[in-house]
Amino acid sequence: MIPLREIAFARSGDKGNSANVAVFGRTPAAYAWLREHLTAAVVEEYFRPLGVGTVTRYEVPNLEAVNFILPHVLGGGGSRSLRIDAQGKALGMALLEMPVEFGQSK
């Protein structure tokens, strides 16, 4: 198992009480892996401790990226949330820590 960050980079940001996390393959093979394995269900399960709602996924093949919309994940968002990360700035980094099986042991 390796952390996702070894094969991908990411960016997260907020919109109200939702956040998006875009995940980009570092290589075409990494993007193919993301496309097949990093599903909305996997991401939703991963962020469940933060209270996330139903996750939507968009494929962006021209950028070798998958973009996830995470509703209700910010504890109220913006000015309302009491959390240290009220704006989802840490979510991209958090997803990149996910352990993944990539390469020979697919």
Instruction: Name which of 39 and 94 has its Cβ closer to other proteins.
Output: 94
Interface map 20-59 toward other proteins (x if CB under 8 A)? x-x-x---------------------xxxxx-------x-
What is the nearest approach in angstroms of other proteins to the Cβ of residue 104? 24
Q: Kindly give, in sequence order, each residue whose CB lies less than 8 Å from that of residue 103, ignoring residues fewer than 6 positions away.
A: none
CA 101 – CA 106 distance, rounded (Å) = 6
**Of 106, 87, 94, 25, the residue nearest 62 (C-alpha):** 25
CA 48 – CA 59 distance, rounded (Å) = 22
Interface residue with other proteins among 44, 70, 92, 100 (CB under 8 A) is 92
CA 19 – CA 101 distance, rounded (Å) = 26
* Interacting residues with other proteins (CB under 8 A): 5, 9-11, 13-18, 20, 22, 24, 46-50, 58, 60-65, 67, 69, 71, 77-80, 82-85, 89-94, 96-98
